[in-house]
Amino acid sequence: MRSLVACIAFGFLLGKAGAEEFNVEKFGATPNDETDDTAAITAALAACEQAGGGAVFFPSGTFIVARPGVADPILKVPSNTTLRGEGAASVIKFAASVTNFWRMFGTGPEGCRNVVIRDLHLDGSNTHPRYEKGKTPEHNAGIYLSAKDGVIENVVIRDLLVENFAGDCVAIGRGCRNITVRDVAVRNFIRQGIQLAGDENARDYLVTGCQDLEPTIEPGGSTIHVEHARGLTGVIIQGNRCRRSILAGGVNGLIIRDNIVHGRIEGNGDENALVQGNTVFGSATNKAVLIQFGYADGLVVKDNIVVGANDEQGGIYVWGASRYNAEPSQRVVVAGNVLRVKGQAVSLNGVNGGLVHDNLVEGGDEVSAVKLSRCENVTVRTERKSQKPEEQN
């Protein structure tokens, strides 16, 4: 009931805000030239804030923005505001003459509430072909929402193309609550595609329907990445298409479900996590296990399809109780997965309390289906190796 009331309230506020529209061209922004439109867009955002909310509209065309002094972010999004364009035709782009950008869209330390960012194309103008320590401006980001002492609440980021950022395309952090990232395409990121972080006040993130497009540079990080969680709760990563990995660590109440991943799914320090229904394809150049979690407390890995790409890739690995941390992983279930790997299919190391059952394993003849090391109270039910049709006759 509380969620329904919140949704109704959010819809009411956006409907009210949408009664007044602020077209950036009317504030002096001129598309498709080299003129710096930062001041004009800032004026449109300020007018929207002064009116108590509304829609800031970007017509089709390319609008140039640059970092004025030490401003962070460059464009501050006020509460009760919709930023919208006409899809990929509405481009907001960093000036090519500036090489060390900061964050394109964000908020002030007080935070913001009831915001929608949709139907836009954000271009970071990155020219770095790969990550180089000390040279790549890795804090450069398209959308960066974080408020150490404030609250950022009820935000929807949807139907965007975000590309060419030397840092993260989209970054969510401290003080964020009820954040949805939906149907966002990212490309040419050097750090992360979609970065999620938080603190003890952060909760309820949904990332769904997103994808990373074929890059023309060397990506440095994951398609979807959770780190510096600091007490973050309630994260759902569902139905995304990832050319690189999903990494999610330090979350209480994590769901990674129904994603297609060309890389790995991994995380450390998660509590009460469900990893279900994903299809994971290994990279031929990577020898690592394809689903890996460490120091988990309450972890279910079920109904995934895991496909290795070389003779060494393993399927599922859960570990704990190492020299870095004496605590074992606890309450672990690995069930119903299809593991088409030639490396170790399932491996538990340093786990106290677990159940492994009904996984279908297709691998080399010398590979044992389940390997336990330094484990206590782990039950293994008979695993089945798949057989080729000619072997069944």
Q: Give the containing element (helix H, strand E) for 67.
A: none
Mean pLDDT for the chain overall = 90
- The answer to whether 354 and 331 have CB atoms below 8 angstroms apart is yes
- The answer to whether 262 and 283 have CB atoms below 8 angstroms apart is yes
- The answer to whether 363 and 345 have CB atoms below 8 angstroms apart is yes
Q: For residues 141 and 147, what is the distance between their CA atoms, to the nearest angstrom?
A: 15
- The answer to whether 378 and 349 have CB atoms below 8 angstroms apart is no
Read off the pTM. 0.92
The residue-averaged pLDDT of 173-183 equals 97
Q: For residues 300 and 386, what is the distance between their CA atoms, to the nearest angstrom?
A: 23
The residue-averaged pLDDT of 11-26 equals 68
Tell me the per-residue pLDDT of 255-277, one tens digit each, with 9 for 90 and over: 999 999 999 999 999 999 999 99
* Helices within the chain (DSSP H only): 2-17, 38-50, 389-392
Tell me the per-residue pLDDT of 44-61, one tens digit each, with 9 for 90 and over: 999 999 999 999 999 999
| pLDDT surpasses 60 at 212 | yes
pLDDT band at 382 (very low <50, low <70, confident <90, very high): low
Please give the pLDDT value at position 366. 42
**More reliable by pLDDT, 45 or 362:** 45
CATH number among 3.30.300.100, 3.40.50.170, 3.40.50.12500, 2.160.20.10, domain 1-203+213-219: 2.160.20.10
- Per DSSP, 258 falls in state S
Q: Please, which residues have CB within 8 angstroms of residue 91's CB and are 6 or more apart in sequence?
A: 61, 62, 63, 120, 121, 122, 123
Q: Comparing C-alpha atoms, which of 156, 139, 269 is closest to residue 205?
A: 156
For the chain, the structural domain boundaries read 1-203+213-219
Both tokens of 91, joined, read 């481009």
